[in-house]
A and B are shown apart, each in its own frame.
Chain A
Amino acid sequence: MSAHNAAAERGGTAPKPRTRLALGDILSMRNVAVTVLIVYFAVFMAYPIFKAFAGSLHDWNPLTDTYDWVGLANFRQVLTDALFWKSIWNTAVFSFFSILFRVVIGLALAMLLTSRLVRAKDSLRGLFYMPTITPLVAVSFVWMWMFDPQFGMIDKITGLDISWLNDSKWAMPAIIIMTVWKDFGYATVLYMGGIMSLPRDVYEAVSLDGANKWQTFRSITLPLLRPTTLLIVITSLISYLQAYVQILVMTGGGPGTDTYTISYLIYDQAFQKYNFGVASAMSVILFALTGVLTLLMFKASGDNLEETR
């Protein structure tokens, strides 16, 4: 007796027979896409993060199959290494000034491009955004040549005699200048979007109240753009804490170790010295540092937003 007939005899409703559509649903493009994303996340994000955490507790060199448990020895070595703390300081300096100039220049240009003073807004926006989509390695090489004291155009144009990348006073500022030049376009575009979506009636109201342009900017525009600023600062922070490509190309961490950043130090430990355990311990510390700074910013900004409301 089939289940269908048995159910009918008991007076119940017969279950619907399985249709071919069920298989189609399972294999729908949506499910496939979600599965691919989950697999991608698991393989390329979750697993490497887990592996780095585990690796930080081992003497690890995958090229020689070395993987010996050392407990917290790698963390002890890292935290007592003067070069690690110097790299942290360099990273802080690099990140602070890069973010500051990125925000200031990005906002200033966005204000200019959304004002009535400038024509050809679309062309200029495209022009400013171009460095952002240019590969960082290529940009780093070009700037390295521009900074060259023998044939670089920066000394030639300014008449200066500075060996930018070989002078400990100028090497880090030179890298910051290049990074800001490459990245300010991203902030400009985001700020332009933010400015264009600001409510017009608020501006009409403050205008009727007699506020001048500076007061309007300081008391209305800046607070209303706070979510955009927060987005730019947090994405910049995450990006700059991981910066190493421009260091690798332009200075190799020099002169001496004056432009070592934490990510460059991790690269150096892992791929120059094959000391993956120590590099992983540094990565875990960087991971925690990035998380804490991001949370603090969210919290500070959230409190401010509450106060604004």
Chain B
Amino acid sequence: MNVKRSLAALTAAVAVLAGATGCSSNTSSGVIDTKADKGLAVLGDHVTYDPNHLVNDGQPIELGYWSWGDASTDPVITMLHKYEKIHPNVTFKISQVAWSDYWVKTPLSLKGNKNAPVLFNVHNSQDALLRPHMAAYDIDLKDLEADYTNVETHVVDGKVDYIDSVINTGNIYYNKTLWKQAGLTDDDIPTTWDEFAEVARKLTKFDGGKMVQAGFNMNGDGRYDGLWQGLNYQRGTLMFDKSGTKANYDSKATRENLRFLLDLYEKDKVGSVKFGDNSEQSFGNGQTAMIYAWGALQGTLETKYPDIDYGVFPTPTFTKAVPFAYDRYNGESTPGINVHQSDEQQAVAQDFIRFMLAGDDYVRTAVKLQNSFPGKKSLQNDPEILANPVMAAIKPRLDRLIWPGPTPSTLESSPKIAFQNVFQNHQNIAKAVAAAQAQIETDMKGSDFTSLERMYRHYDEAKQD
């Protein structure tokens, strides 16, 4: 009896453990496809895709796809379903992994694991972790460059493992209701920071000395840590030195910009560190009139704060003249292909990538879901896309935006600490900036990162700060 009980207990334990570890097989539930001629048109201008062929000889095959998003945020998922309809023998097994876990689980899983994904969502900030596991796209580079902007920034050894589907940068979001209440019109939209400060003062309200409405709010994540690079670029200062490996945070431009921002809070009194610790939430609740944010805010506002009537205008500059650059930009990356998976699976994955990049649907969906500007050249003048205020704000500045490459996270986290030390702990600006520079240098020891700022077409105009 003991033996039976023990074996039963062990069996149950094994079953529970197997369930917990998510054991699964790669068996495909797809059907055999015998119809090569789908009756569909060839897609694309330079990168082309002819859907009228069999993939994997029409035999059933299953491919895993990992993403931190779902169908409402990740445009690849829509395309996977479209591809399954064209090639019914292909089944995609889609897994969502939380962002916080994704960057530990994915690189560990990709290494020779049969249950690892064949295709996976990529964020360029994690380039160093993913690149060793990625297969290069089997698409002619000239065709890619003809169809997509900024492909050259992703070329390594003459090949690309991913490119930008869409790009984004920062803008100023403003509350139209508060704008009208302050007696402001569209003519008051500022183009310089001086004009901005004046407008922000009009949008700030106090009740007995206590701020009840902030004209401009930069409290919380994604504000100064996202803004400092753009402000430095506006003054002609690069994020990295000429070698591209040493951060240039401790610069005259950084100190001047921190002083300028501090003056906005302490002299102009258009915001306060006491005014909550989440400017996005405060804007959504109608307590803040203006914030600096990237395109993703639009989605947040639509889902969390649908009643806010807001507008978007380009981030101001220090003078009316065209600056060295308006801001930093970043791209949403196309998926990666797992180089460790079988040749058959990689071949289907390559076919899917070509399908996705040749047509317009993927980029159109990305523009909509990620509120970002199309990386595909044929869509950059599309009237429907430019009707979106974020796209309209980005379009005129496209030529003067810089991508410094997949910069290490310390380039955001350390300046954020400097900002808090200056604004909340009243530390001397020079001291806070120097401490952040030291932290960045410590964190980047052993990093093989090299800035891509040298690839910016107006690079030679940069100041030597």
Q: Which residues of A contact B (CB under 8 A)?
A: 23-25, 27-29, 32, 36, 59, 62-65, 81, 83, 148-151, 161, 163, 165-168, 252-258, 271-275
Contacts and interface: CB of A to CB of B under 8 A. Distances in A.
A29 B2 CA distance: 7
B2 A36 contact: no
A236 B277 CA distance: 30
B6 A163 contact: no
A28 B2 contact: yes
B6 A272 contact: no
A162 to B, nearest CB: 8
Interface stretch (B246-254, B268-276, B304-312): B268-276
B146 interface: no
Contact of A63 (B108, B417, B427): B108
26 contacts: A28-B6, A32-B10, A63-B103, A63-B104, A64-B107, A64-B129, A81-B442, A83-B439, A150-B285, A151-B285, A163-B274, A163-B276, A165-B277, A167-B273, A168-B425, A252-B221, A253-B417, A254-B417, A255-B421, A256-B420, A256-B421, A258-B425, A272-B409, A272-B413, A273-B409, A273-B443
Nearest to A155: B274
Contacts of A255: 420-421, 424-425
B36 interface: no
B128 interface: yes
Nearest to A168: B425
A32 B9 contact: yes
B328 to A, nearest CB: 21
B273 A163 contact: yes
Interface residues of B, number: 43
Contact of B132 (A64, A81, A252, A272): A64
Contacts, number: 92
Interface string B415-434: 01100110011010000100
A166 B219 CA distance: 9
B271 to A, nearest CB: 12
A166 B274 contact: yes
Dominant secondary structure at the A interface: loop
Contacts of A273: 409-410, 443
Nearest to A164: B277
Contacts of A258: 425
Given A27-B6, A63-B129, A272-B413, 4 more contacts: A27-B3, A28-B2, A29-B6, A63-B103
A150 B287 contact: yes
A81 B441 CA distance: 13
Contacts of B277: 148, 163, 165-166
Q: Provide the main secondary structure of the chain B interface.
A: helix
A166 B273 contact: yes
A161 to B, nearest CB: 6
For A59, A166, A252, which residue has the most chain B Cβ atoms within 10 angstroms?
A166
B446 interface: yes
Q: Which 6 A-B pairs have the closest CB atoms?
A: A255-B424, A256-B421, A163-B274, A150-B276, A27-B6, A24-B2
A254 B277 CA distance: 11
B236 to A, nearest CB: 29
Tell which of A83, A163, A258 has the most Cβ of chain B within 10 Å: A163
B111 to A, nearest CB: 8
B417 A59 contact: no
Interface string B97-113: 00000011001100100
B7 interface: yes
Contacts of A253: 417
Contacts of B132: 64-65
A150 B10 contact: no
B210 interface: yes
B18 interface: no
Contact of B3 (A23, A83, A256, A257): A23
Contact of B7 (A27, A161, A163): A27
